[in-house]
Amino acid sequence: MSKPSIITRNVVILSMVSLFTDVASEMLYPIMPIYLKLIGFSIILIGILEGFAEAVAGFSKGYFGNLSDNMGKRLPFVQIGYLMSAISKPMMAMFIYPIWIFFARTIDRLGKGVRTAARDALLSDEATPETKGRVFGFHRGMDTFGAVLGPLFALIYLYYYPNDYKTLFYIAFVPGVVAILFTFFMKEKQKETPKTIEIKPKIRFFDFLKYWQKSPIIYKKLVGGMLVFTLFNSSDVFLLLKIKEAGYDDVTVIGIYIFYNLIYALASYPIGVLADKIGMKKVFITGLIIFAIVYIGMAFADSKVAFIVLFSLYGIYAAATEGIAKAWITNVCEKENTATAIGTFTAFQSIATALASSFAGFIWYAYGASVVFLSSGIITLGVAIYIARFQVNK
């Protein structure tokens, strides 16, 4: 009798959904600030727009994760979330009024908030504790491959049609629709229905915060360490800005960004397999150490070869932490609270990410880029030592 496949049909389909969604999103990532400035947005207004949109996404991840657990449903949240992100793309090009742009961008980020926790819980439902590394790694690899194809398509398109940014927003709707169509081929596992009818309380927006109080100690310790790390893990924009300040052109900057995503995509599944074999803890700590090496190295790098080497390592770091973190969290939380646990973590993570970029921007302005990278690298080594002391290796 043959063993059941570790990478199930649902995992493959959900990975294709993420791939096509990321093609759509990352196609627009390099040109978003350029487009916004073109239609009259100032740097300050762009900052307010992105900050507001990310705050909406962050808090909604916790709420919709809690709601998914309460309803015992995953797939509807996945479908609605991806639909919202898909329709937001052409909306950005239809009108250029600031209030409309705010609305469209918020729809996109809210879609991410609706789907994220339910999607990760669905992935967890498709795996066992012994196979979660490779399941989350496979999904993360496919997702990130979209971040390779998207900017690559944008570069090719803009080479032939310079400055035609608006059309790209309409084109991005196509892979978004393909992603939604894939979701209709998924089948959610039926939950066992209790014999007695349980009247569940109404879910309020911030009820997910209550989960922190009742969550397992190891969850609190793990998430606490990850959030401290996030506070010193600023946006990748700062890494790209460092290359730009070293005197390289936009093509080099975007090319290195694509290269990083390619390494990240290719390494995600093998590292997931490794995590299943030797433990999430060892792989995650290794990822943090690599991050520290990259950031300390970025403080002194100025040659193209150095940047390529560091971004190669950065891709391996991402593969060893992004999907692994969520896989590890699903192993230490209760199965019935999987979406709430992930939603609570990602909600706090979004807030910490916003703060991290603000801190980095201030430190860069006041003390220079080297201080940003050195401080982040040193703090991350401290977080790695803290997590290494955990008495769990799931």
Half-sphere exposure of 143 (CA within 13 A, CB side): 19
pLDDT class for 229, splitting at 50, 70, 90? very high
Tell me the Ramachandran region of residue 279: left when phi exceeds 0, alpha when psi lies from -120 to 50, beta otherwise: left
Region 362-378: what's the mean pLDDT? 89
- Residue tagged 């927006």 (tokens): 205
Task: Give me the pLDDT at residue 197, please.
Answer: 44
On the question of pLDDT at 97 being above 50, the answer is yes
> What residue segments make up the domains of the chain, in order of their start?
9-185+207-388
Contact predicate 175/20, CB 8 Å: yes
Q: What is the 3-state secondary structure (H, E, C) of 374-388?
A: HHHHHHHHHHHHHHH
Q: In the prediction, which pLDDT does 190 show?
A: 67
Q: Which residues of 31-40 are buried (b: 16+ CB within 10 A; e: fewer)?
A: bbeebbeeee
The average confidence (pLDDT) of the chain is 87
Reported as a single tens digit per residue, the pLDDT across 242-293 is: 888 888 877 788 888 889 999 999 999 999 999 999 999 999 999 999 999 9
In this model, does residue 213 exceed pLDDT 50?
Answer: yes
> Does residue 131 have a pLDDT over 60?
yes
| Token duo for residue 217 | 């100690």
Q: Residue 196 corresponds to which amino acid?
A: T
pLDDT band at residue 209 under the 50/70/90 scheme: confident
pLDDT band for position 201 (50/70/90)? Answer: low
Q: What are phi and psi of 185, to 5 degrees?
A: -95, 0
Chain segment 23-45, per-residue pLDDT in tens: 999 888 777 877 887 888 776 67
pLDDT for residue 321 is more than 50: yes
Structure pTM? Answer: 0.85
Cα dihedral sign for 382, 309, 240, 283? Answer: negative
Distance CA 75, CA 67 (A): 12
98 confidence band (pLDDT: 50, 70, 90): confident
Q: Please give the Cα distance from 139 to 117 (Å, whole number).
A: 14
Other beta carbons within 10 angstroms of residue 70's beta carbon come to 17
Q: Which of 25-29, 181-185, 223-227, 327-331 has the lowest mean pLDDT?
A: 25-29
Question: What average pLDDT score do residues 143-170 get?
Answer: 89
Handedness of CA 211, 213, 214, 217 (dihedral sign): positive
Q: What is the pLDDT of residue 267?
A: 95
Question: Mind listing the pLDDT tens digit for each residue in 48-61?
Answer: 777 777 777 888 88
**Is 14:186 a contact under the CB 8 Å cutoff?**
yes
Q: Answer whether 154's CB lies under 8 Å from 28's CB.
A: yes
**Domain 9-185+207-388 maps to which CATH number in 2.40.50.100, 3.40.309.10, 3.30.420.340, 1.20.1250.20?**
1.20.1250.20
Q: Is the pLDDT of residue 5 over 50?
A: yes
148 pLDDT higher than 50: yes
Distances (CA, A) of 256 to 132, 248, 360, 364: 30, 11, 21, 22
The answer to whether 372 and 298 are in contact (CB under 8 A) is no
Tokens of 6: 């570790």
